[in-house]
A = this chain, B = another copy of it.
Amino acid sequence: MSSDDRRLDVLRAIVEDYVATREPVGSRALVERHSLGVSPATIRNDMAALEEAGYIAQPHTSAGRVPTDAGYRVFVDRLSTVKPLSGAERRAIGSFLEDAVDLDDVVDRSVRLIAQLTQQVAVVQYPSLRRSALRHVELVPVGPRHLLVVLITDTGRVEQRTVEAERDLDELVVARLRTHLNVSVAGRRLPQLGDALATLVDAFEPADVPLVRAVVTVVEETLALDSEERVVLAGTANLARGGTDFTGTLGTVLEALEEQVVLLRLLSDMAEDAVPVTVRIGHETQHAGLLETSFVTTAYGDEHGAVARVGSIGPTRMDYPATMSAVRAVARYLTRILAGS
């Protein structure tokens, strides 16, 4: 074994011990807990090298070492081995998710499940409208001049908007519009929709054009709006439990989590990475409130491929292998269930 290899072993040991104990780990404890076959003094030399390389740091002189974000990064990328779930756990996940009655329920159960499994904050992103296809458009008059537009996607998601008409609604026009819309949109995705919607106006009397145009605009806007992507959280209480993490920054973390925008940006950012499970560690989240947290996500989808992401947020000092495998397991079942229904 080369000394480089041993250094990485030492790094792994430090991460594992620190995650387990939450306390800076010293050279003596390291040789005692792991059979490294060398003396503490040697470990100290290795530690000095690791510190030089920026993988570990000392909270203060004469304290043990703590992994840095860079150290966790190396651990995640090169040193960790997956921690598969037990068969019983897998079955429990499957059956719990299969009992869901609709999309909302599936999402709700998934997010609770991840929070439970990881004992951290769970995040589930609703299936993205842009990647799913429209199945049906429903128009419902609510009051003489207001029209409720309901969009239903093939993932079972429902979006709604209200349109205000310039004059009283004509039931016949609404019915024609409904029919036309459904012919135009059925099964199409956003990029293909533009032209179909544009020509739709031609089929109506000039007097009705404002209404038609308004409805079309609403449909387009709804489909285009990133902000309509939603994430659901669970397990925020897990942040406060266990105590010692997050000295005084818990408030900042909660603030960041309440900002859907922050989470959505992070999620879409992570979607770029071409890896099965994406991890953002500490400062890599690019958000001041999440400096002391890490974010583990993976994609789930339906038969057409990736649709959205699920993940878990916890302290940078988290059990990465366990979190990664829990997140991935739930995503798999989620994909299976969405494809099946």
Interface residues of A (CB under 8 A from B): 101-104, 135-136, 138, 140, 142-143, 146, 148, 150, 152, 154, 156, 158, 160-162, 234-241, 243, 248, 250-252, 254-255, 257-258, 341
A160, A162, A257 interface centre (most CB from chain B within 10 Å)? A160
A160 touching B103 in the complex, CB below 8 Å, given contacts A140-B136, A148-B152: yes
With a cutoff of 8 Å between Cβ atoms, the chain B residues found around residue A152 in the complex are: 138, 140, 148, 150
- The complex places the Cα of A212 from the Cα of B239 at a distance, in Å, of 47
A161, A239, A240 interface centre (most CB from chain B within 10 Å)? A240
With a cutoff of 8 Å between Cβ atoms, the chain B residues found around residue A156 in the complex are: 142, 148, 160, 162
A142 touching B154 in the complex, CB below 8 Å, given contacts A251-B240, A254-B237, A255-B237: yes
With a cutoff of 8 Å between Cβ atoms, the chain B residues found around residue A255 in the complex are: 237
With a cutoff of 8 Å between Cβ atoms, the chain B residues found around residue A160 in the complex are: 102-104, 156, 158
| Nearest chain B residue, comparing its CB with the CB of A100 | B162
Instruction: Assess the A236–B248 pair: CB atoms within 8 A.
Output: no
With a cutoff of 8 Å between Cβ atoms, the chain B residues found around residue A239 in the complex are: 251, 254
Instruction: Assess the A341–B235 pair: CB atoms within 8 A.
Output: no
Sorted nearest first, the 7 A-B pairs with minimum C-beta distance are A240-B251, A237-B254, A237-B255, A241-B251, A240-B250, A136-B140, A138-B138
Number of copies: 2
With a cutoff of 8 Å between Cβ atoms, the chain B residues found around residue A251 in the complex are: 237-241
- The complex places the Cα of A258 from the Cα of B104 at a distance, in Å, of 16
13 further A-B contacts with Cβ under 8 Å, apart from A148-B156, A235-B258, A237-B252, are A101-B162, A102-B160, A104-B160, A136-B140, A138-B150, A138-B152, A140-B152, A143-B341, A156-B162, A236-B236, A237-B258, A238-B251, A250-B250
- The complex places the Cα of A143 from the Cα of B340 at a distance, in Å, of 10
- The complex places the Cα of A103 from the Cα of B258 at a distance, in Å, of 20
User: Would you give 23 A-B contacts (Cβ < 8 Å), ordered by A?
Assistant: A103-B160, A135-B140, A136-B138, A138-B138, A138-B150, A140-B152, A142-B156, A143-B341, A146-B341, A148-B152, A148-B156, A150-B158, A162-B341, A235-B258, A236-B236, A236-B254, A236-B258, A237-B257, A237-B258, A238-B251, A239-B251, A239-B254, A240-B254
| Nearest chain B residue, comparing its CB with the CB of A230 | B104
- The complex places the Cα of A250 from the Cα of B135 at a distance, in Å, of 44
- The complex places the Cα of A158 from the Cα of B104 at a distance, in Å, of 12
| Nearest chain B residue, comparing its CB with the CB of A162 | B102
- The complex places the Cα of A254 from the Cα of B258 at a distance, in Å, of 14
With a cutoff of 8 Å between Cβ atoms, the chain B residues found around residue A240 in the complex are: 240, 250-251, 254
With a cutoff of 8 Å between Cβ atoms, the chain B residues found around residue A161 in the complex are: 101-102
With a cutoff of 8 Å between Cβ atoms, the chain B residues found around residue A162 in the complex are: 101-102, 156, 341
- The complex places the Cα of A334 from the Cα of B33 at a distance, in Å, of 61
